[in-house]
Amino acid sequence: MIESKQIYYHDYHELKSLAEEWGVTLFGVGDVRDILNTFELLPKDISDGLVYGISMGIRLSGRIMESIKDGPTKLYYYHYRRVNIALDQVAIMITNHIQRSNFNALPIPSSQTIDWENQRAHLSHKAIGVMAGIGWIGRNNLLVNRDHGSLVRYVTVLTDMPLKVDSPSKEDCGECTECMKICPVGAIKESFNDYNRDLCLERLKWFSKKYHIGHYICGICVKVCKGKKPL
């Protein structure tokens, strides 16, 4: 038993160092059994038995985020897309690495909202990130990491490779209200449970038209969220 545990620990650290070598800033693994029923758009036969969620994040460029004043910029849009592609590439490489060890792995694309009106996706990268100890759900309804705030984008790989799991984060936003103060439509409230996704979505649509960006992005509440350790 002790011997097999050591093998799992070795796999965790091996995957983590490979991911970091490929550009990942944050890495964690969560036991996702308790949130399997929220993977509503993933066919059961595809996700069956994949109870470990590998959460990986790449930090956004601070200088590009500084370009955001009162709405998304083209620079942010291109960066956002490139970071998503980089995450998807890392997820594919981690998937192949796991499969070479004769386990199953399922990469979930980083930006994969299928139904924007209802904000539905295959799974929530944020929820996996919480289970993997990466951070907590902030007032801005995003995953917040203590060192990097919300300035990170994420991808998930589900697997049945039995890995060491991290403990879910027990932190929260504390006294910080930076995102509440700056949201142009007042969508962010004291509790993330009261976050108004309709107000936010309307503003994203407006930005998309105003700045001719073919995507629903904003970046304002991402930019100001610096977690517990301001950079």
The nearer residue to ligand SF4, 164 or 228, going by C-beta atoms, is 228
Minimum separation from the CB atom of position 101 to ligand SF4 (A) = 37
Selection from 135, 125, 139 nearest residue 168 by Cα: 135
- Residue 206 CB, nearest distance to ligand SF4 (Å)? 9
Among residues 73 and 140, whose Cβ is nearest to ligand SF4?
140
**Rounded distance between C-alpha atoms, residue 9 and residue 44, angstroms:** 28
Q: Exposed, middle or buried, 7 (CB in 10 Å: 0-12/13-18/19+)?
A: exposed
Give, for 52, the enclosing helix (H) or strand (E). strand 52-59
Residue 62, φ and ψ in degrees, nearest 5: -60, -40
Q: How far is residue 211's CA from residue 155's CA, in Å, rounded to a whole number?
A: 27
Nearer to ligand SF4, 128 or 180 (CB): 180
Q: Residue with structure tokens 């011997």? A: 3
Shortest Å, Cβ 105 to ligand SF4: 31
Residue nearest to ligand SF4 (CB): 138
In sequence order, what are the beta bridge partners of 45? none
Tell me whether residue 99 or residue 177 sits nearer to ligand SF4 (CB atom): 177
Q: How remote is the C-alpha of 225 from its chain's centroid? A: 14
Closest approach of ligand SF4 to the CB of residue 91, in Å: 24
The residues that touch ligand SF4, with contacts defined as CB under 6 A, are: 138-140, 144, 149-150, 173, 176-179, 183-185, 187-188, 200, 203, 218, 220-221, 224-225
The least CB distance from residue 77 to ligand SF4, in Å, is 14
Q: What is the residue type of 100?
A: R
Instruction: Pick the closer one to ligand SF4 by CB: 103 or 192.
Output: 192
Count CA atoms within 13 Å of residue 163 on its CB side: 32
Closest by alpha carbon to 70, among 179, 207, 197, 162?
207
Least distance CB 200 / ligand SF4 (angstroms): 3
Complex with ligand SF4: residue 112 or 119, whichever CB lies closer: 119
